[in-house]
Homo-oligomer: A and B are copies of this chain.
Amino acid sequence: MAHPTTSISEQELVLCGQGRELVRDVLERIGDKWSVVVICQLGHTTKRFNELRRLSEPITQRMLSATLRSMERDGLVTRTLHDTKPLRVDYALTPRGLSLLAVARHLAGWAVDNAAGIQESREVFDAP
């Protein structure tokens, strides 16, 4: 890991200064509706388009296509076209994609740990 136990002050600097746009950028990457789902479904194994589509249900064809392309653009997945008939395309996470997978899992851990508590807070807040 590159930031294992970075000091708090350093991280605060990062988040308060120029780093803010970087962080926003990452959040746009990971915060859209499907990226994390696709990243997690891809995991460490290569998968085909329709395979991913089934695993990521109810994603639409359009959104899977768009999500994969912007991930490819960011160097998170590789796209390999096998020139067979019928067509066959394989997707796999790159090393960078795998490192994002780790972050996504960290996030997922927090989500699972806090989902119930948040739900409860909301109910209290929304009460009469």
Contacts and interface: CB of A to CB of B under 8 A. Distances in A.
A2 B109 contact: yes
A24 interface: yes
A100 interface: yes
Contacts of A28: 31
A88 interface: no
Interface residues of A, number: 55
A27 B30 contact: yes
A99 B6 CA distance: 16
Contacts of A122: 73-74
Given A115-B25, A117-B96, A14 B107 contact: no
Contact of A23 (B6, B27, B36, B55): B36
